[in-house]
Structure 1
């Protein structure tokens, strides 16, 4: 179970974007983050400290040895939680539900962005997809599905040979598994 401080730290809109950039690009200078995210350096530094307190990012040495620059990287790659994890604390459950709403909103915004640009010739060779399924499952079976999807994504990301020179674009994947009405 995630600590509520991690969940609330990550699901601020700008902090979520910082996490995404660090996930895709690895260790990055504060000034490069500010440029990429069209934000002030001071604002980026503030949000990085918030993420650092939650154990999400960490400072790293400048690869060139320049001690005047501030570099950061993710301290971890994934986050998984449910508002149900916080049933013992109504305040934390409320924060977790709000973070879930922010997360879904961010996922749908990313999907809407793709739908607006999918005819761009730069993406012509990419086979985007949509998958959904409906089945009967116990709570344990739903947890097993989540674990298996996480394993597949981890194996898939680990199998990408970033050193082969092949052109790549960031790829987003999201799935939700939840009880529903037929």
Structure 2
């Protein structure tokens, strides 16, 4: 059963695992679906099932996802689910060595690039949605002025 807490990624090996572009896409897709098989996720990310299975196992090795019990009727199917409500990352966990800081920065850039990709896909597809969904979709621009304590 997944934890309702967010997991703080604080070790370099786990950051490297989630910092792989396909793995992050798979992690996000699995979060949206809640449970899925490698085959279902492969269709979603347009990759071979064997490649997706490999990367899902790597995510599981680091405790980022886990087997989803009680899913499916075929014993050959392996169902997966996220092991937590989400992930958090903190600069302070990776700023004690240049190689760690570089991996942290690269993972952050890659994550941001994927967010931009997702937003562009949203913008490109929204005109095809039913009126109800278009009405429920909105954009906002929020700028916060915060102190370090806030």
TM-score category by the smaller chain?
0.7 to 0.9
Q: CA offsets, 1:106-150, max 9 Å, x none? A: 111112222223333434222312222142x32111xxxxxxxxx
Report how far residue 55 of structure 1 moved.
0.8
RMSD value over aligned CA atoms? 1.9
CA contact (8 A) 1:61 1:67 kept: no
**CA distance in structure 2 between the aligned counterparts of 1:73 and 1:11, rounded to whole angstroms:** 18
Pick from 3, 12, 17 the counterpart of residue 4 of structure 1.
12
Q: State TM-score, norm by structure 1.
A: 0.68
**CA distance in structure 1 between the aligned counterparts of 2:103 and 2:32, rounded to whole angstroms:** 27
**CA distance in structure 2 between the aligned counterparts of 1:41 and 1:118, rounded to whole angstroms:** 29
Task: Give the match's secondary structure for 1:79.
Answer: strand
Instruction: Provide the residue aligned with 1:99 in structure 2.
Output: 107
Q: State TM-score, norm by structure 2.
A: 0.81
Q: Greater Rg, structure 1 or structure 2?
A: 1
**CA distance in structure 1 between the aligned counterparts of 2:46 and 2:99, rounded to whole angstroms:** 33
Give the direction of change, closer, same or farther, for the CA distance of 1:60–1:127 in structure 2 (3 Å limit).
Answer: closer
Instruction: Provide the residue aligned with 2:76 in structure 1.
Output: 68
Structure 1 segments (4+ residues) deviating >4 Å: none
Q: Give unmatched runs, 5+ long, in structure 2.
A: 1-7
Q: Give unmatched runs, 5+ long, in structure 1.
A: 142-182
CA contact (8 A) 1:27 1:72 kept: yes
Report how far residue 5 of structure 1 moved.
2.4
Higher relative contact order (CA 8 A, sep 6+): 2
1:28 matched to 2:36: yes
Report how far residue 62 of structure 1 moved.
5.0
CA contact (8 A) 1:84 1:93 kept: no
Instruction: Provide the residue aligned with 1:133 in structure 2.
Output: 143
